Amino acid sequence: MAVALGFHLGAAVELFMIKVYIKDTNFYEVAKKKEVQRRENPSDWQKFGEEVKRQIEERKAGREPISFEERNAQLLQAEKPKS
């Protein structure tokens, strides 16, 4: 009985997300837009993951990894136009 009720409730929620439009959009349209934004602009978590990977690679190579702040300072220095 409880399984059937849960199944029907889940189906009703899914049907609502697909068929009900609020201000010319439904749940999946909003989800698609947010996914596109997420892929266009890497989040802080992705940057954090890349930083951790870089530090792990430096340790594997036998070098002491530099701090995140030092790395950012190096990148900013490299981006400055030389005049």
Same domain, 67 and 56: yes
**Number of domains within the chain:** 2
pLDDT, tens digit, for every residue of 18-31? Answer: 898 988 888 888 88
Same domain, 35 and 48: no
Same domain, 82 and 53: yes
Same domain, 57 and 36: no
- Between CA 42 and CA 50 the distance in angstroms is 11
Per the model's pLDDT, the better-predicted residue between 80 and 62 turns out to be: 62
Does residue 82 surpass a pLDDT of 70?
Answer: no
51: exposed, middle or buried (Cβ count in 10 Å: 0-12, 13-18, 19+): middle
pLDDT, tens digit, for every residue of 49-67? Answer: 888 888 888 888 888 777 7
Q: What percent of the chain has pLDDT over 70?
A: 94
Please tell me whether the overall predicted TM-score, pTM, comes out greater than 0.85 for this model: no
Structural domain boundaries, residue 61 = 43-83
- Which string of DSSP letters, residue by residue, matches 17-80? HHH--BTTB-HHHHHHHHHHHHHHS--HHHHHHHHHHHHHHHHHTTPPPPPHHHHHHHHHHHHS
